[in-house]
Amino acid sequence: MPAPIRLRELIRTIRTARTQAEEREMIQKECAAIRSSFREEDNTYRCRNVAKLLYMHMLGYPAHFGQLECLKLIASQKFTDKRIGYLGAMLLLDERQDVHLLMTNCIKNDLNHSTQYVQGLALCTLGCMGSSEMCRDLAGEVEKLLKTSNSYLRKKAALCAVHVIRKVPELMEMFLPATKNLLNEKNHGVLHTSVVLLTEMCERSPDMLAHFRKVRQLSSSQLVPQLVRILKNLIMSGYSPEHDVSGISDPFLQVRILRLLRILGRNDDDSSEAMNDILAQVATNTETSKNVGNAILYETVLTIMDIKSESGLRVLAINILGRFLLNNDKNIRYVALTSLLKTVQTDHNAVQRHRSTIVDCLKDLDVSIKRRAMELSFALVNGNNVRGMMKELLYFLDSCEPEFKADCASGIFLAAEKYAPSKRWHIDTIMRVLTTAGSYVRDDAVPNLIQLITNSVEMHAYTVQRLYKAILGDYSQQPLVQVASWCIGEYGDLLVSGQCEEEEPIQVTEDEVLDILESVLISNMSASVTRGYALTAIMKLSTRFTCTVNRIKKVVSIYGSSIDVELQQRAVEYNALFKKYDHMRPALLERMPVMEKVTTNGPTEIVQTNGETEPAVLETKPPPSGLQPASQANDLLDLLGGSDVTPVIPTAPTSKPASAGGELLDLLGDLNLTG
């Protein structure tokens, strides 16, 4: 059989393919030749063929039929064969394949080999794809190599031990004695892998963490002082071409040490105190002109904020994050905002110093930075800066993309409710949000604003005038139109009389008020719920206005035949009030009383029926059983006054009383008012 082509020739041939089909044809032809070669007992080209299979595997073609050939190469005495065999095993095998268990004995023999490079291949393979069974069998050999004086093998054995611990955590104690002298090594590769091993042990076992924290008699055997010494040497050492990256000595090792210090110092006063000085030294001496220095500073900040550090050190860390916000690199600005968001609850005043820079990030073009800046801005709002912060956030709400409007509107609502300096400011802020992003607000925004307006008795005239002007000719923001319709229905008489003292009153006639409500009813932009608000408002105005009652009757009667079942039902009920129960209409349509806000581990309780929502005062005690007395008729009249939304109050079947309350119960029996 002729000798197979070399790997370089195969690569050159495949790269000449003009189409995907031509490439597949070449691959299939070569795979067939490789299969034929594998069938031969004495295959001198097995190494070359497996190398070509690995290249095909990298291109995405199946190469599983070469798994056993990899095992044969591993068993070979030639180093070149072993190297390709182990590489193929790491690429083509994993612990889900039973074939990998056949490698255990070969790896064990190679771990005890006299050549360090063969031992290194075995360590790499075990650390890459060793299963839990394989790790149990070979952990002893790994532990021996961890104690050897050969730095080349120690660094590989340390990483292999990390894999063994991840697969079989109960073997962790086996490697504990070997960690004693790892940090005394001068080789940076050994130091780096040793810190990785110690970090893994501390993260996975609280007992190990306590062991490394405890104070011993010899300070040189303590882990924290050892790490501090290594980190200090890295900072103070001169130029070393072997480890220098952009003028900083081995930044990868520095970052690893800082992460381990963070784990050791978390919730531990003694360890935190031992590392405070070196953290301050790193924070002040690290160069920030390159990304390498910024990476070390970022890890330093995370460590300072996570341990029990001094207050001055925490302020220094937050100031570093503040400088990050001015960096041109978007990634650095993003991690700074994220870190500040995590620390704002514990160091609120220190973060407040960078408020203007954070607000400027709202104007960034990057959506991720913009979202983090928005979240952090809401976290910074308090009673002292609420006016200024809300001004910036409302400006952001005006100009931001639609994807931000819902979260921004919700945040403004919550902040305004918590820190509002006055009711007028609170109402103005919510109305501004509804005007700007009404279509994006939460479902409970309308009932919450209605409740706020109802409870602000002195602001009724001002609010209804502002809402009337806000919806003139624009019905696109449905929540705003719903609130305006409700308020006009409740306080339309204040609008017409011009009793507003907060700002210059406007001259509005009764017909003009009805015109705008009728426009809401016939507008194509009005939802069914909005039309329900408008129709109920028109009905309520029949008791507030004196000259337009006949017009109101006509409007209500028109919607008695509406194709919208909700509007039709309301219109029929309201017509019945005009015709059969006109003497009860003033009581039924009187103003809503002041509402009490009830919170039970969550938002305001809301009762919703017929698509219209209002905050409801929930009964805290069950109603008495038996007959409902006629004295409760006024409560029912009040509840019917705002709309057909009523709290659900269970009642027993009652007989008809002879009083006026009986007529109301007849009305409730004849007409379905609950929807």
pLDDT in tens, 521-564: 999 888 999 999 999 999 999 998 888 889 999 999 999 988 98
Encode pLDDT of 461-475 as tens digits.
889 988 998 888 788
Does the pLDDT at position 33 exceed 80? Answer: yes
Determine, yes or no, domain membership for 562: yes
The arithmetic mean of pLDDT across residues 258-272, rounded, is 91
Domain total in the chain: 1
Comparing 299 with 659, the larger pLDDT belongs to: 299
Q: How would you class 291 by CB atoms within 10 Å of its CB: exposed for 0-12, middle for 13-18, buried for 19 or more?
A: middle
No. of helices (H) and no. of strands (E), the chain: 33, 4
pLDDT digits (tens, 9 = 90+) for 135-175: 999 999 999 999 999 999 999 999 999 999 999 999 999 99
To the nearest 10 degrees (0 to 180), the angle between helices 528-544 and 510-522 is 160
Please tell me the predicted confidence (pLDDT) of residue 102.
85
619-656 per-position pLDDT tens digit: 333 444 433 444 444 443 343 444 444 344 443 443 34
The whole-number average pLDDT for the span 478-489 is: 92
Work out the average pLDDT over 230-235: 91
SS3 612: strand
Residue-level pLDDT at 442: 81
DSSP structural state of residue 658: S
Looking at residue 506, its pLDDT comes to: 77
Residue 217 has pLDDT above 60, yes or no: no
Query: Can you tell me whether residue 649 is helix, strand or coil?
Result: coil
Is 582 among the domain residues?
yes
Residue 576 lies in a domain: yes
Q: Which residue has the higher pLDDT, 331 or 595?
A: 331
Range of the domain at 547: 452-595
- Which pLDDT score, from 0 to 100, does residue 103 have? 87
Residues linked to residue 612 through DSSP beta bridges, in sequence order? 609
pTM assigned to the model: 0.74
Mean pLDDT of the chain: 84
Share of the chain above pLDDT 70, in %: 86
Q: How many CB atoms lie within 10 A of CB 420?
A: 20
- Which contiguous run of DSSP H or E holds residue 609? strand 606-609
Cβ atoms within 10 Å, residue 119: 22
CA 36 to CA 640: how far, in whole Å? 89
Alpha helices (runs of H) in 386-442, residue ranges in sequence order: 386-399, 402-419, 423-437
Decide if 301 is inside a domain: no
DSSP 245: E
Q: What is the pLDDT of residue 288?
A: 82
pLDDT for res 243: 83
User: What average pLDDT score do residues 279-299 get?
Assistant: 91
32's CB contacts (< 8 A; 6+ apart) are: none
CA distance 134 to 122: 12
**How many CB atoms are closer than 10 A to CB 30?**
21
List 613's β-bridge partners, or say none. Answer: 608
Question: In the structure, what pLDDT confidence band is assigned to residue 597 with cuts at 50, 70 and 90?
Answer: low
- The reply to whether 476 falls in a domain is yes
497 lies in some domain = yes
What is the distance of C-alpha 368 from the center of its chain? Answer: 11
**What is the predicted pLDDT for the residue at 240?**
76
Over residues 499-517, the pLDDT tens digits come to 766 666 678 888 999 999 9
Q: How confident is the model at residue 396 (pLDDT cuts 50, 70, 90)?
A: very high
Lowest-pLDDT range of 301-305, 495-499, 512-516? 495-499
The stretch 362-373 carries a mean pLDDT of 94
The verdict on residue 522 lying in a domain is: yes
Q: How far apart are the first and last CA of the chain?
A: 89
Residue 482 lies in a domain: yes
Q: How far are the Cα atoms of 561, 577, 653, 656, 662 from residue 669, in angstroms, in the given order? A: 22, 14, 11, 11, 10
Q: Which amino acid is at 620?
A: T
In this prediction, residue 346 carries a pLDDT of 86
CB 412 within 8 A of CB 393: yes
